Every structure is written in C-alpha cells, then in structure tokens.
Structure 1
C-alpha cells in the first residue's frame, strides 16, 4: 500500500500546485493554458481530495491513540470507539484510492452499436436472437436510453438472422460492454413437436460507436453497390434501388443496409457501422499488444467465449464468467439484466485492482 500512497500523495501535491497556478494572474490571462490546467485539475480532483481526507483521518487516529492512557476511563473508552470507526473509514478510503488510480476506459461514455447474430440451431437460433434483441431494447427503455435500429435480417417465423442497432446515452458502453460473447439457450423449440430439449446459440457484439474523428475513412478505399431491398424469403420490399452495400477494400469488411427507403439514409447508417467496426479492429490490435493479462479481463469482449446460458425448463439463467445463477428467466428476457451487469463490473474491477497491485509490488 505504501507504493500506492506515494503515488497518490504526488498526485495530491500536483493538484495543489495546479490550484495555485490557476490563481496566478499571469496564468489566468492565458485562456488556453488556464483551460489545460483546469482539465488536468478536474481529472485528479476526486483522488486528491480522497487522499487529503485519508491524511485527516490518520491524524484523528493518532490524536485518539494519545487518549488511550488518559486517567478518565470514559475518555479511554470513547477514544477506543473513535479509533475503531476511523480505522474502518481509513480502509474504505484506501480501497477508494486504489479504484480511482485505475485508468479510465475512454470508451465508457460512448454510445454503443450492438450486433446480434443467430448461431448454431437453425430457426430456433434465429428466434432466440430476436428475444435477445427484445431483451436489450427493454433494458435500454427502462434506463431511458434511445434505441435506433440500423439493420435487420428477419426470418419468416419472427426470428432474426442478424440485427444491428444503436443504444444512445451517457455511459451506454460502460454498462453493456460485458454482454459481448456467445449466449446459449436450452429449451424445447417451438418448431419441434417431439418435446426434446435443444441447445441453440446467438452471438452478441457490443461495440463503442466511433465518431468521425476516431476513424478517418478514405473514400477511395470504398466500393459502394446499390441494389433493391428484400425481405424474409427474398421478396422485394421496395420498388426502388435504395439498399446499400459498402465494402472497405483494405480490410474486406462488408456492411449492408436496406431498411430505409432513402438510399442516402441507408448509406449513412452503413458508414456508421463500418466506422465502428474499423475502430473495434484497431482496439483489438491494441489489446493484443497489451498482452495476455489484459486480454483475460472480463471486459475484453471475446466474441467466441460462451458467457451465458438461458435454460427454460429450469427457469434458470447462468453467467459462466462469474458463476452467477438466477431463477428468473422471464424477467431477464424482459430486460432485468442489471444484476449481471453490476456483478460483472465489480469482478472486472477486482481483476484490474489485483493486476495493478502486482505491477506495483
């Protein structure tokens, strides 16, 4: 802990230094410099104030210890009680400082683009993918996030082969980033008459939506094809060629959008998806460079990992990463996934704290 305290003490001193600089008339007259200092000050303010509170509590503990040998028995008992309470606060402050030292994910505040694809299981997998889509939209609505459908490929029985949608709102990515992976369902399919339990799967990818400043795309790297929209079974749904397919030639990424009647609107949506996939590709490269320890973290977004099972006969949902099971399947599929989100975030934070302590040791 001493190494961590030394680091935090330096940050607190830097906070005091910045505060003094901002009060200097010469600095105050330089608007750009003042803004730069203010941004730095805001970034470290909570950590610095937590450390100053930590110092104050330490001082109070020492003062109370000096009273443990007081002639007055009542005063000694009061001091013991105070020390016990202050020690608890000191431990809480130590934990808070460790947490505040963890690097913040710059993507956490971004909107997300969610891609759900039916996996193994045929039509049953498509029906399950549609249920997952409904689950996330219900969750978003409950948290007053805005949902925007970008692309959907439906089947004739109410399922979806693929659906891509945006969830907009502050902190959307910080909440949903743990949902990436393979979701598995176990139940008697509605398409089955034999009554046997089948296992099907769908993949979920949660991507932070990239801004234009995050990814610059060269128009010369794109091939844009225009075609007529089609619905389930391949029938034409529009009489004009409004569907858009964009191929990014350097990477081979292909994005199609056909749900809008306007060719321009379909192109704009396809470009949002392409930009986000390119951004995610660069992020994955960066994670590979960070090494195996970082990739093993819960929030790494491994698409091939089986993360959750939805068992209908037992009314059970199990998240395999944290060994958590709830027996409220209907509620979960109706959007009640906050319990999983909160415990996954806590487990991820615990892993990162352990990794930080190991690095500093």
Structure 2
C-alpha cells in the first residue's frame, strides 16, 4: 500500500482512540449533541480500524515467519515457506478489503429505513407477490440482526398485501437496502391460476432513510391535517372501539401517512410523523437527483424510482 494511504490509516486509528477517550468523558456524556455525533463517528470508522489492526497482526506474523527461514531444520523451513505464502495471500485480500472500506459513503447510509411495498399490476397475484417480498425482507433483516416494525398494512383478499410499510432499525440499513427501490416483477404460475399459465405481476418498493430527530426539518403544524379513525383488522376489542389510528396529511406537498398498528393514539402519531419526515426528505432527495440528471442530460438510474430493478423468474429458476 502507498505510504500516503498508510499514513492516513494511522491517523484514522489515532482518531478512533481519541474518540474512545472522548466517549468516556463525563462532559461529553452530559452533552447529548456531542455524544451522539462522536458515537456515530466512532461507529463509522470502527470497521476500518479493525481491518488496520488485523493487517498489523498479519505483518507481525509475516516477520516472525521470515525469521524462521534461517533455521537449520529443513522441516521448520519448509513449513515457514508454506505459511509465508498463505500469510501474503491473506494480506493481499485484506488490503483489497481495506481499500473498499475506505470508499466514502453517503451520510444517510448508516441510518435505519422505511420500506414501502405496494402491489402493482397483476391483481390478486400481485398482492401475493407483495407478501413474498415482505417475507424476503423480514428474513434478510433477521439475518442481519436488524429489528423490524409494521407501520401500516392493507391486506389483500386472497393473502398478501395491497400495501405495507415496514420500519427496519439497525446499522447501515439504508445503505444496504437503498438500491431495492424500484419496480420488482415476477413471472410464475400463480396459486390462483387453474390452467397452468405463466403470469407476470409487479410490485413497487420504496426505501427511505429515517430522519434523525435532531436533524429533522421543522414542519409547521399549520401545514398538517391530522385525522383520527378506528383501526381495522385484528387487534382486539380495544383497537376497534377507539379512534387510535392516525392519518396525517402534509398540505403543501399532499403527502399522506397513516399508522394504526399501536393501541395508543400517541404512539401511532409519533410513528406517522417519523414516516412523514422520511417521505419529505426522500422527495427533496429525489428532486435534487432529478436536477443533477437533467444537468448531465442522462439518467443514472438511482433518481428514477419507477425503473425496474429485478425480475423473479420462477419457471427458469432465476
């Protein structure tokens, strides 16, 4: 690796150790803004520092092994030569991984996210496909150790969903899922098909970064219309007999969000407001992307939510 890069990595390790000390400082602990900022920076650079420390260990091991090459014992010398080759291969792989880890990330990548899944063309089969997508994302989230919450849902008659909104909480959620936004298409024989014909159905997926409460743009309460209504579906007598569900309309943009998953009206309102902030920020981000694309006179894909990003072809197993 180049000396300039190694010097930058050394500075990164120094900063990591400095942050560790700051996070245990009572003055910083008592200052919520500083503590959150330092914690985020610490979390962001920790994976890179771990790779640097592993690299240092490999270089140390390599030095020890090279020292064994002067041994008079032929077996030890042969074993050292084999281990040196293995160690050098591991070092090359690690340095490649380290360079990838140093690629700058978008500020939103580390945030939690909302996933909106809506059935598109295809009737009942589209609703069933939406259900399959929901299960896919839930299983993936579980494999990553992320937590999930259902913000709102509208179930289809034959199973699946007309629409569902999930909140996924964890580290690097938005960065891992943001490219799932777009149209998902499935080609298969539906459970509702009696003649064995292959149908094509589609769903749309939108992934939006959760907005940090401390960084949220203030929304004037005059710009909001808040309606309460009785929740529908399962949830017990209490849910269905009280106006606990919340619908919030942002008048300037026309954005509408609903939440009815909690029995508490206050909790539903808090969740709905969090989703509304995410939608507003996402709309602003999309507008900025569209401007950049227009100036360059070419679309790069990430600014167009309607772009089909994946086809699930069941008959051909791909």
Decide whether aligned partners of structure 1 residues 163 and 86 sit closer, same or farther in structure 2, where only a CA change above 3 A counts: closer
CA deviation profile, 1:29-65 (whole Å, cap 9, x unmatched): 9966xx9999978836436535645765786799799
CA deviation profile, 1:292-321 (whole Å, cap 9, x unmatched): 8xx859xx585323233333444x2x3xxx
Counterpart position of 1:49: 53
- Determine whether 1:200 maps to 2:201: yes
Q: For 2:131 and 2:219, locate their aligned partners in 1 and report how far apart those are by CA, in whole Å.
A: 35
Counterpart position of 1:247: 249
Q: For 1:135 and 1:289, locate their aligned partners in 2 and report how far apart those are by CA, in whole Å.
A: 33
Q: SS of 1:166's equivalent?
A: strand
* Length, aligned pairs only: 299
Conserved 8 A contact 1:180-1:301 = no
Counterpart position of 2:122: 121
Decide whether aligned partners of structure 1 residues 191 and 49 sit closer, same or farther in structure 2, where only a CA change above 3 A counts: closer
Q: For 1:160 and 1:37, locate their aligned partners in 2 and report how far apart those are by CA, in whole Å.
A: 41
The CA deviation at 1:282 is 4.2
Counterpart position of 1:274: 276
The CA deviation at 1:117 is 0.3
Structure 1: tracts of 5 or more residues without a match: 319-361
Q: For 2:40 and 2:7, locate their aligned partners in 1 and report how far apart those are by CA, in whole Å.
A: 19
Counterpart position of 1:149: 150
Conserved 8 A contact 1:117-1:162 = yes
Conserved 8 A contact 1:8-1:51 = no
Decide whether aligned partners of structure 1 residues 272 and 72 sit closer, same or farther in structure 2, where only a CA change above 3 A counts: closer
CA deviation profile, 1:52-82 (whole Å, cap 9, x unmatched): 45765786799799x7xx9999898677656
The CA deviation at 1:164 is 0.8
Conserved 8 A contact 1:19-1:41 = no
Conserved 8 A contact 1:116-1:204 = yes
Counterpart position of 2:100: 99
Point out the more displaced range, 54-63 or 249-258.
Answer: 54-63
CA deviation profile, 1:116-175 (whole Å, cap 9, x unmatched): 001111222122212322333344456654332211122333342211122334444454
Point out the more displaced range, 270-279 or 223-232.
Answer: 223-232
Q: SS of 1:163's equivalent?
A: strand
CA deviation profile, 1:264-284 (whole Å, cap 9, x unmatched): 343222212111212333444
Q: SS of 1:280's equivalent?
A: helix
Structure 2: tracts of 5 or more residues without a match: 29-34, 234-238
Decide whether aligned partners of structure 1 residues 12 and 129 sit closer, same or farther in structure 2, where only a CA change above 3 A counts: same
Q: For 2:145 and 2:88, locate their aligned partners in 1 and report how far apart those are by CA, in whole Å.
A: 40
Counterpart position of 1:162: 163
The CA deviation at 1:112 is 2.5
TM-score (norm 1): 0.62
Counterpart position of 2:309: 307
Point out the more displaced range, 206-215 or 221-230.
Answer: 221-230
Decide whether aligned partners of structure 1 residues 130 and 49 sit closer, same or farther in structure 2, where only a CA change above 3 A counts: closer
Q: For 2:259 and 2:126, locate their aligned partners in 1 and report how far apart those are by CA, in whole Å.
A: 22
Conserved 8 A contact 2:12-2:49 = no
Decide whether aligned partners of structure 1 residues 175 and 76 sit closer, same or farther in structure 2, where only a CA change above 3 A counts: same
Counterpart position of 2:32: none
Q: For 2:73 and 2:264, locate their aligned partners in 1 and report how far apart those are by CA, in whole Å.
A: 85
CA deviation profile, 1:222-281 (whole Å, cap 9, x unmatched): 32142544759xxxx956655433222343322233455554343222212111212333
TM-score (norm 2): 0.69
CA RMSD after TM alignment: 4.6
